[in-house]
Chains A and B, each alone.
Chain A
């Protein structure tokens, strides 16, 4: 057993763990963040991608002890509102009229531009690969603000998706890139709801 201390989405998490514990298992079972998924445990599917000190890593391929002291960002860390506790219960929040998450337009207070673009472009079907895809694309688009569609395809070549045929994922990445460059994204139908179904 060894003590490991990581900063996960800005929160310090430390535990005595079996040395064999993977970073993936630390994130899911110790930090309690299950948005990072186990799809293959052989570093092929990409469902488990997280950021370690700013670089994307397949977390099933790293032991937690190897990254002791690192800063980890998971999918739960991209949408700040999801982490912010409700510090005041008001009559408004009780009545259910607080501002809902704007998922279609995706302001920085709500969703990362990649998440919002995935929603608009229907780049999510079963959603199991989605957190890994989003993490890879966020990292890639931050470093490559003006990619071609082929560039995007190569960027996600280490992530499998069995549902979408990748077309809408590439669409979403191109829209997100434009938005991250400060360009206005095209209007799409906005009568969708943002509640969890």
Chain B
């Protein structure tokens, strides 16, 4: 008997698990939703940032005086005048003693697009004119675009002022994993496959550009910031710290946000600059970034170079993984070093690999800042590992599907702890794998230039980031005096549908109609403290906080009703906006009456009852901190994704067409199936962009050549195949009270690898560099034909390839293992 049937007649069916159309849609569909650029405050003026045209340079002069002569210009500023007055930021997330971010370049420019000066004027055009009048003298230095060149002792030093705890030169951090004994696994393996892989620098390219309106009240000293951001408290706390003013004097409000994908999960210089201008002028200041600025100075997916090895036994069992990763975080990066930690740790899934040995040098280059982007390092790790799995299977003459079936975790008992330390509370990844393979007809013969590929991954559901010992969200609920409910949360919804998802939870828990439940806009003056919306944490972490708050509010409601009705609370139930005696759903007392009693008729309350109908709950996940050897259960639960791709390569144009694509996901208990399906579709499209078209292209001087949607090839509707084969095979989480798992990012992880494997199956060409563009495909096909070979690696086997072709020529991590005792028995640690 289902839960719906078990409920008394007359009570509305449960909403959790149903595709409720979204509450937030109407305003977005009719144009009445307000995004930050739609805000117009009285006396508002407009700021613009002058950014560096060159990537790497010493700053000689930034003279803003000429800008002040331009009609309409009200104020201008540059870096030198702020030194000692404004605190640098970025220290908390990166474990630095002093932050490496500042509103403007002061002594050095580190990447093209870095802030040099800013101008504020009555109109946006006047601010633009003012920027053009600023006199800048830069002494250009050699750029460092290639992360491996950044490692060279002779490479120009990029960050000259920062002292790193774990790095030196352009290496600003290091990461390592020591689990088991890879050398022993290597010695015993039937095959060890080794390959160098490189990943690309992909943009989030959320369609709403970054921007903000800062409004400082010079009498009260309160700075109000309206911003397009994913996290109000991260922005508020850092902004208050940077400006050295109390947290209570900074109020961050978030209007509708036109997506983020991780690219708005931190504070940016423009938010500080707009605030400073508003404080200096006492007027509201709007600062919207032009699209080219979003490309140049927004954050990107961190590009990586992997020297990866995978050991496999004769029966197809994966016995070991070794990798040396050069992780490119760009010139500066708030979150960049965290990406390789979590991406590698979780990227080992869905296999329980007993021997893992990873080193990473986390480097600066004179390129745009790296950061979080849908998948947080996992798509990169999966692109490498899942292609190695195919390569090993082929060497052993095994079916890639059979090899994966043998290796994906499918324990007899849960929870199951992997050698890496993940605690798997539930998973259906094996069934997901078989389902997606069946859906594209894995065993059917391939036509010429057609191929099929598989990839599997697991994605963390929220995470305890190595530098932050917290993973919490909070919800406060208020039963209003007319029986409606307001939800307060600081986790910004920017496409995920929180107003609907949370209302479904509240409606079920409180028995109130969903149309009576509203989500308040995120506001740091009123919302309970939470980390924000990233890391696929909404449904599971925020949803759990909401469930707990709903239970607490329900207890209060039942206490009042029990007193009024003179029955025990245990004999009461809720539904249809009422509290009623169990079994009598058509009677009872309306929530409206109970709420009004608590507010206006307090003599009727139970003795000692505190007359409030608010409830707050915080949920911090029971996750572990990362151990020194890289082990740890960083995530409360893990969502699974198995993808199968069927592609065709056009030998004349080099174009790859995805003919058929199947996705089978384990997202645990799904609150709103249509919303979760939409998340998977969107995750797929971002993975498709990563594998086929999207990348930052730099010239040797470090200038970004495609900072425009004209040249940056974002995926369009005609690039995407029909995604009708998207299925959920839920294995509800046992750690999360409602069973949810993260949905937002699991669709991205397997895409590049599944398509890369399908491309090899179609052409015999193993692409080791992303993206696989038509140009690259064409030259690779020509080279393969010219040589008359069965298989070819691109670019490793191309005549002009300058990197190491064989693993014997591979570089070693620049950090020696001298600080580690190599004889130490990690197995017994």
Contacts and interface: CB of A to CB of B under 8 A. Distances in A.
A119 B258 contact: no
A103 interface: yes
A119 B22 contact: yes
B495 interface: yes
B227 to A, nearest CB: 15
A192 B29 CA distance: 15
A125 interface: yes
A166 B720 contact: yes
A188 B12 contact: no
Nearest to B257: A126
A105 B677 CA distance: 22
Interface in B358-404: none
Interface string A163-197: 11111111000000000000000001111111111
A162 B207 contact: yes
B686 interface: yes
Contacts of A189: 18-21
A59 interface: no
B709 A128 contact: no
Contacts of B31: 33-36, 74-76, 82, 131
A56 B256 CA distance: 25
A45 B256 CA distance: 19
B710 A127 contact: no
A103 B15 contact: no
A69 B495 CA distance: 37
B552 interface: no
A165 B685 contact: yes
Interface string B471-492: 0000000000000000000000
Contact of A79 (B20, B30, B35, B674): B30
Helix, strand, loop or mixed for chain A's interface? loop
A161 interface: yes
B519 A44 contact: no
Contacts of B709: 40, 42, 44-45, 160
Interface in A99-129: 101, 103-104, 111, 115, 118-122, 124-129
Nearest to A123: B678
Contact of A196 (B32, B259, B683): B32
Contacts of B32: 35, 76, 82, 196
Contacts of A42: 291, 708-710
B205 to A, nearest CB: 6
B716 interface: yes
Helix, strand, loop or mixed for chain B's interface? loop
B515 interface: yes
Interface stretch (A85-93, A139-147, A148-156): A148-156
A41 interface: yes
A192 B37 contact: no
B722 A167 contact: yes
A64 interface: no
Given A74-B31, A122-B21, A134-B29, A129 B207 contact: yes
A14 B208 CA distance: 28
Given A122-B22, A149-B722, A197-B23, A163 B495 contact: yes
B205 A197 contact: no
B733 interface: no
Nearest to A134: B29
B700 interface: no
B1 to A, nearest CB: 22
A168 to B, nearest CB: 6
A6 interface: no
B714 A160 contact: yes
B682 A165 contact: yes
Nearest to A122: B674
B206 A162 contact: yes
Interface of B: 12, 15, 18-35, 37-38, 125, 204-209, 256-259, 261, 288, 290-291, 494-497, 499-500, 503, 513-515, 518-519, 674-675, 677-678, 681-686, 708-710, 714, 716-718, 720, 722-724
27 contacts: A20-B125, A34-B37, A44-B708, A44-B710, A45-B207, A101-B26, A103-B26, A122-B21, A125-B496, A125-B497, A125-B678, A126-B28, A127-B25, A129-B258, A131-B31, A149-B722, A153-B720, A160-B709, A161-B717, A162-B207, A162-B259, A166-B685, A167-B681, A189-B19, A192-B514, A193-B23, A196-B23
